[in-house]
Structure 1
Amino acid sequence: MSARALAPALSSIALALAATGQAHATAGQWDSSVAGFSGTGASAATPWIASPATGSTYAEWNAIFSYPSDNTPDIGGVGTLTETTGSAFPTSGGNIYSISGASAFSLDLGTAAAGTWDVYLRVSTVGSAVADTAKLNGVSATRVTTFSQAITGGFGGTEEESLWKWTVTLSSPATWLTSFAASGAHMSLDQVAFYAVQTPAAAVPEPQTWALMLAGLGAMGALQRRRRA
């Protein structure tokens, strides 16, 4: 079968897979909430991070139509999501699907300032599961499954939502580069979200505070000496 003749067949397979998943959980929206964040997934227009912190990096794709790269997040700022193997294709439902092998993805979210950051990657998939390990600037993290629902009939598998977290300290500005992959063929990527938020730096006491602390320590020392006497 030629590549041109094969494409419609692949599209039909992917659409059948997506339709199967939608019978159990709604595509294009988060089906679970994550503690500590306000987005509930009530609709595709409800972002995972409803109020990103000032200075944070946030981007979310709920429908992925450009292939192999999509540089127009549905929610949030700028960023580029790229399928890196060339073995997948976009479906009419806004997913990226691969029948011939494990698809792999990268995220380029621009430059981050120096400091300590909590970084989150969230992914929704249908069919085969996403691989457990993802990387941020070469550092690995293991996913936590926040939603999982079996798909009956069709290709089987699951509809899942996965979350990875890193805490990193940057000594100088650096680019956020993230990568993740499918565990095998037949994974349909439904949604992706990336959130990096800087953690508050420890407060440095002002000179007046240091003076009060030293005075207090001196008073405590004098009291101890008096008690011994």
Structure 2
Amino acid sequence: MPPYAGHRRRGGDFRIPGRHFHPAHESLHRRIPNDQLLVYDATRGVQQIQQQGPHGDEVDTDSLVLSIGGTCRNPGTRGVRAAWGVYFGPESPYNASALLDAALSQMLARAEIEALRQALGTIEAKIISSDFQPRRCIIKTNSSYIQRVFPSLVRRLRVDGGRNVFGEKVVFYELLRDIEERFEDLGYGDGIEGGTDVMFWCVAQEENREADGLAVDALAQPRNGHEERR
């Protein structure tokens, strides 16, 4: 497995894949109002982030911004059901949502992990190409769980064989480890100047309505309608 590649990106910021993204703390973004930060590229079907340029605000064409969300109905009961949602932008062909497979643990955390896993698969298989290799992939989420485990906790667990300080196996460890390794592969790319750095943008729930809304819509579907919605 290749190591993380730290490298200087366009604009002079030094980044390591997996770090959290805070636009209010970023010199290129902090003066741009929140409601103007994201711009939808209808040609690519994805959102990108605006930054301050020498001649005013401009779109960072090396960026990719998406949102992930999850929801869980009737937790702790026999009727529990969870769903996930991924949002790439208004009318994006990559937007998706579905009920969590009934064979999986019906938990909010598992739904949020599934949203992340599904988003990553779409990015790898359908978005990144020879024509579009974003330098930054910013994943917007209101999940305290995702915020806590990526990247530091997963890296620490990998050193400890997936066990916590009490020696107990951590739930979902293998899945979390696999996702983190895929992040590493994206960040490594074809060399020190290639690759896509993955960062998490942790927001309040009201700032992540689109992805959460997709998950809620999936949960509202009839129980026999497990197929993915796009």
The reply to whether TM is greater than 0.5 is: no
The normalised TM-score by structure 1 is 0.24
The normalised TM-score by structure 2 is 0.24
Structure having the higher strand fraction is: 1
Relative CO higher for 1 or 2, CA cutoff 8 Å, sep ≥ 6?
A: 2
